[in-house]
Every structure is written in C-alpha cells, then in structure tokens.
Chain A
Amino acid sequence: MSRALIRRLAALSEAPGPEEAHVVLADRPDGTVVSGGRTVAKAHAPDCDAAALAVRLRIAAHPRLHGTLLPPLPVTGPDGYLVRYDDGRPLTRWPYGRPVAPDDPDAAPWEDAARLLARLHAVDPETLPGPVPPMRGPAKAARALARMRSAPTAAVPSLTAAARAVEGGWAALPPWARDEAPAPGPGLLCHGDLHLGQLVRHPVPDGRWLLIDVDDLGVGEAGWDLARPAAWFASGLLAPEVWTRFLGAYRAAGGRAVRPDGDPWPELDVPARALTVQTAALALAKAAPEGRPLDEVETALVDSCARMA
C-alpha cells in the first residue's frame, strides 16, 4: 500500500491533517480503509468493476435499503458516490460505524445479522437502480481456489494432502457454485460476503446494526448469505446453540433463502459446501508461504471437504 494512497484516503475521510489523526482500519489486497474520525474512506480492489460498484453504491443509498445497508456519503465525482484514484481504483466515503467486538463472538449480534439478511432478501431487485449485478459469492470461491493453486502447498506434505481434499470438495460442487454457470432460479438481492466484520452500529455508539461492504452485493442464491455460519456449524466450529439462534431469527423475520420450517439443508448444502471449500482454500493459501501446518480450526474445514467428495 502506498503512502500516497493513504494520504488520499485520509483527505477523503476528512482527517484534520494529511499525516495525522487518521487510522488505517484495514489494508488488504481487496481493499484499504482509512478512518478520519466520523468518516471513513475506502480504496476498492484494483481489479474492481467500477460500473458495477457504482450500481451497488446507488443501491446502498436507495431508500428501500434504509435501515438495512449503511448508505455511502456523496463525493464530488461523476458517479456521485465514487471517485477514481490516480491508478483507476475507485474510492468511496462512508460514515464511521462501530464494529462487532472481536473478543466475544457469543455476544455478537447473530439475531440482528439474521434479521438484516431477511430484510435484504425481501427487497425486489426490480425496484432498485440497475442493472443490478450478480452476487459475487461464487466468483470469490473460484478466486480462493486459484489462490490455493498458486500457493506453494507442495513444500509441506500435510498441505499437499489437504489441497487434494479441498480440490475434491470443489470438484463435487455444481458448476454455478464454481462460477462456471449462471446461478439457477431468479435469485434474490444478497450481500454476498457475510461475516461478523460486515456489521456496524450507526450512528456510533449505539445506533442500529447495519450491513456494510457492498462490493459483492447483487442478485443470486440467497442461501450464500447464510452459508458461512452454516459451514462453521457443520464443521463443528460454531456452537449448535448459536447456529439455532441465527437460523431461528432469520426464519422468524420471514427470510426467504430457506424453507420456513424443517430441515434447511436442501437450500444450504451447496452454498455451505462452497464456503467450506473457499475458507479451507484460503487457509492453505496463507499457511503454505509460511511453511506451517494447518491449525485445528483450519483442519476441521479440510476434514469437511474430504467428506464431500
């Protein structure tokens, strides 16, 4: 990440000075986020589809999503919500929201997350600014596999075996979940990348919970939004009580991704398998360059992949 980009983001986030009083909240290949206090600025991924992002930003700002998605702040630029950095990367501005405390997952707002997803899934895409892009979940799963394949897993024998198990789980998925075919069905409006880092309270400190990060938002298989908690539960990582709370709150709010009663796995099976494979692939992509074996949690996901083939 360049200092020039950080300075540009700090300026956009209205930090008092170019080099002071701003905090880098995240700095990853897929996004850099800088906070200047009440406002944050985000540099999106360099290969981000700016036209699709512009639609996603207009959706987040749309009154229909009020109370569900954090709306972006306007910027001075042709699209109204994004400006381009020198290298073409889109930059956006957002109000600062208070994230979930990372030290106590049990106290995390699982029910609020479920209710927000149910509300999101109920929005008719036809009523929104368009063209509404496809949800990017399957594309991100395919990208995770590509990262694993280019990582030096062959250097560690246990990682070689684990990569084989992940490939087996990947091969057993239907083509749409591997981003090789369009998703079946008309699809619902979905977030596309739900985890506990995608919730903030706004206004700070005690405003309502809202979903953030619209980079993967779009029309698709809504079970994808429930698939991370489902995958964690299925792999024995998330307590069954927490899974029951999350699923129960989603159903109580009228969530449409799963049948209202009974076994939800007919709808969740494929997305949860895809997220299990994706998470295991990323764990391998990170462990391989460090030359370390997988830890207990990562191994639980690889074991699940091995049982899918």
Chain B
Amino acid sequence: MQCPKCHAPMHTYNRNGVQIEQCAGCRGIFLDYGELESLTRLESQWSQQAPPPPPAAPAPAPQAYPAAPAWGAPHHGHHGHHGQHGHHGHRSFGRMLFSS
C-alpha cells in the first residue's frame, strides 16, 4: 500500500491486535474502520489500570490473537471480530471447506 499523502510505501504493524499502517516517508498513520475506536478502548483500559500499582497476583493475560499476515483481513483484537470470523452457517464457506 502507498501513502495517500506522499506516496511512499506504508508498513504494517500489529499493536495489541490492532493493525496499523505507517508511512515510511512522512510517518503518517493509516487506520482502518474501527481501529481508532479499538485504540481508544485499549488506551482507556490502560489508563484505568495504570494508576494503582500492579496487584500481587495479576490476572492472567487474555489469550493472544494468533499471528496473522499483513495481507490478512483486518481484525480488532480478541474481543470483537466484527462477526466476520466463523461463517459457520455460511453455505459458501461450508462448501469451500470441502472443495479443491
């Protein structure tokens, strides 16, 4: 993907399950639909957690989203995969699972 502003190549980074494209030239950041909200949510979770010192027995970390390639579908962390995953009832995907 090319930067819409300066046309330099954009690199994809994954931060807490949020996929971010950053321009190698002007350092501009491109967010897909819903990603700003995901970042805001993560930030508010962080600021809520940050002030008190970490408890002696911290809660277990949530299961990480499995690693995915940069060309994969955008996802939004382990909470809200916006209904796209698991088209279990989708006939088209059901057929695809069984065909060459």
Is residue A247 within 8 Å, beta carbon to beta carbon, of the partner chain?
A: yes
What is the number of residues of chain A that contact chain B, defined by CB distance less than 8 Å? 43
Cβ–Cβ contact A196 & B92, under 8 A? no
Q: Of A236, A244, A295, A308, which is within 8 A of B81 by CB?
A: A236
Q: Of B70, B78, B93, B98, which is within 8 A of A237 by CB?
A: B93
Stretch binding the partner chain, chosen from A59-67, A201-209, A262-270: A262-270
Name the interface residues of A234-275: CB closer than 8 Å to any CB of B: 234-240, 242-244, 247, 263-265, 268-269, 272-273
Chain B: CB-nearest residue to A307: B71
Cβ–Cβ contact B87 & A263, under 8 A? no
Residues from chain B with a CB closer than 8 A to the CB of A122 are: none
Cβ–Cβ contact A303 & B73, under 8 A? yes
User: Chain B contact residues (Cβ within 8 angstroms of A): what range?
Assistant: 20 to 34
Residues from chain B with a CB closer than 8 A to the CB of A195 are: 97-100
Cβ–Cβ contact B65 & A30, under 8 A? no
**Bound-state Cα–Cα, A195 to B90, Å:** 17
Cβ–Cβ contact B68 & A197, under 8 A? no
Residues from chain A with a CB closer than 8 A to the CB of B98 are: 100, 102, 195-197
Is residue A75 within 8 Å, beta carbon to beta carbon, of the partner chain?
A: no
Residues from chain B with a CB closer than 8 A to the CB of A193 are: 100
Produce 1/0 per residue, A75-107, CB < 8 A to B.
000000000000000000000000010110110
Q: Of B66, B92, B93, which is within 8 A of A247 by CB?
A: B66
Is residue A297 within 8 Å, beta carbon to beta carbon, of the partner chain?
A: yes
Cβ–Cβ contact B66 & A244, under 8 A? yes
Q: Of A100, A105, A304, which is within 8 A of B72 by CB?
A: A304
Is residue A300 within 8 Å, beta carbon to beta carbon, of the partner chain?
A: yes
| Known contacts A100-B98, A102-B98, A296-B90; is-contact A240 B66 (Cβ 8 Å) | yes
Cβ–Cβ contact B97 & A233, under 8 A? no
Cβ–Cβ contact A304 & B73, under 8 A? yes
Which secondary structure dominates chain A's binding surface? helix
Name the interface residues of A275-309: CB closer than 8 Å to any CB of B: 276, 279, 295-298, 300, 303-304, 307-308
Produce 1/0 per residue, B58-100, CB < 8 A to A.
0000000111111111010010010011111010111011111
| Known contacts A105-B97, A193-B100, A297-B96; is-contact A236 B85 (Cβ 8 Å) | yes
Cβ–Cβ contact B85 & A239, under 8 A? yes
Is residue A58 within 8 Å, beta carbon to beta carbon, of the partner chain?
A: no
Is residue A7 within 8 Å, beta carbon to beta carbon, of the partner chain?
A: no
Is residue A52 within 8 Å, beta carbon to beta carbon, of the partner chain?
A: no
**Bound-state Cα–Cα, A149 to B99, Å:** 20
Distance between B15 CB and nearest chain A CB, rounded to angstroms: 15
Name the interface residues of B4-51: CB closer than 8 Å to any CB of A: none
| Known contacts A197-B99, A240-B66; is-contact A296 B72 (Cβ 8 Å) | no
Chain A: CB-nearest residue to B70: A307
**Bound-state Cα–Cα, A247 to B67, Å:** 11
Residues from chain B with a CB closer than 8 A to the CB of A100 are: 98
**Bound-state Cα–Cα, A176 to B35, Å:** 36
Distance between A246 CB and nearest chain B CB, rounded to angstroms: 10
**Bound-state Cα–Cα, A300 to B83, Å:** 13
Cβ–Cβ contact B70 & A279, under 8 A? no
Residue of A240, A244, A295, A298 contacting most chain B CB atoms (<10 Å): A240
The 8 closest A-B pairs by CB, nearest first: A236-B73, A234-B72, A239-B86, A197-B98, A297-B92, A307-B71, A236-B84, A263-B67
Other A-B contacts than A108-B97, A240-B66, A276-B71, 4 sampled, CB-CB below 8 A, are: A195-B98, A237-B85, A297-B96, A304-B71
5 CB-based A-B contacts, threshold 8 Å: A103-B94, A234-B71, A237-B85, A237-B96, A243-B66
